[in-house]
Homo-oligomer: A and B are copies of this chain.
């Protein structure tokens, strides 16, 4: 399945979004402009602006406020990715060197701050207060989620509940916000806005669980990520949490002793992957993701059957089937 099947119903709108986004990123400061142009090159699938546009189009209309919302969420998403790469010391982002690899941490932290404030300022200038409320809450949830993750992962005692709370904050919040901003730009029905927001929250959960599963099952050539890199980084995700919970104490201790040592994690990540597979951790995580995917589709089932709604449904499929 190709992302184009999802984007077809808003391809003109996406094109217009990209043009406007590019001009918003332009800066009179030559360094900022250079880094910004590089940010554009690093662009991923732009799922968040896509969701803003689709969530508006479900109600028939993609107006200026939707475009501005799309630009704001993409600015904030880019800002958080740049800070994430600093935080993780990541060398690569989507197959090309990360901003921090090329310009060092100093400039990366500042460019992140700059894009963050630019996004907020852009909405303020246009008096999009509703969008601002939605997005500021998301920014706060994102940093809280990251912090909770760091805290929980360290002690290796993260529960499924903690994990879900972390990914809801880290990934679900901005995706849910994107949908809510799009909906709010085209309807005044609070109920409908809430439905789209739920769709986004569930989609975000399904997306992150699938993403975490790819660390165990992905083809590193396609994902661009080394298999088991989360294990090496001591990121404990759902498959491993489930496997640890459903194993004997002695086996738990064997795996935990690997996880505690960075050297052991580096050389024995394959053992951990085999353990997780054997204990049914992969199947379990896939089932949980399926559950959220269904809930996402249910959340929008009462809307009129139009192209935009179908695209939102296809996006859930795309997320569930993606191999990279």
| In the complex, per-residue mask of A132-161: 1 if CB is within 8 Å of any chain B CB, else 0 | 110011011011101110110000000000
Give Cα A105–Cα B108 distance, bound, in whole angstroms. 13
Q: Of B29, B114, B136, B142, which contacts A120 at CB under 8 A?
A: B136
Instruction: Determine chain A's interface SS by DSSP, over half rule.
Output: helix
Interface size class on chain A is: 35 or more
B133 touches A117 (CB 8 A): no
Answer whether A147 and B32 are a contact pair too, CB < 8 Å, given A86-B109, A87-B105: yes
B29 touches A110 (CB 8 A): no
Give Cα A251–Cα B163 distance, bound, in whole angstroms. 62
A106: chain B residues at CB < 8 Å are: 87-88, 150
Chain B: minimal CB distance from A251 (Å)? 30
Q: Of B111, B113, B129, B150, which contacts A129 at CB under 8 A?
A: B129
A86: chain B residues at CB < 8 Å are: 105, 109
A146 touches B83 (CB 8 A): no
Chain B: minimal CB distance from A233 (Å)? 11
A29: chain B residues at CB < 8 Å are: 144, 147-148, 151
Is A31 located at the chain interface by the 8 A CB criterion? Answer: yes
Chain B: minimal CB distance from A311 (Å)? 30
Give Cα A230–Cα B282 distance, bound, in whole angstroms. 54
Chain B: minimal CB distance from A195 (Å)? 24
Residue of B nearest to A151 (CB): B31
| In the complex, per-residue mask of A24-60: 1 if CB is within 8 Å of any chain B CB, else 0 | 0000011110000000000000000000000000000
A-B contact pairs, 28 of them (CB 8 A): A29-B144, A29-B147, A29-B151, A30-B151, A31-B147, A31-B150, A32-B144, A32-B147, A80-B113, A83-B110, A86-B105, A86-B109, A87-B109, A107-B147, A109-B109, A109-B112, A110-B143, A111-B143, A111-B147, A113-B116, A113-B142, A120-B120, A120-B136, A121-B136, A121-B139, A124-B133, A124-B136, A127-B129
Instruction: Write the residues of chain A forming the contact surface with B, with a CB cutoff of 8 angstroms.
Output: 29-32, 80, 83, 86-88, 105-107, 109-114, 116-118, 120-121, 124, 127, 129, 132-133, 136-137, 139-140, 142-144, 146-148, 150-151
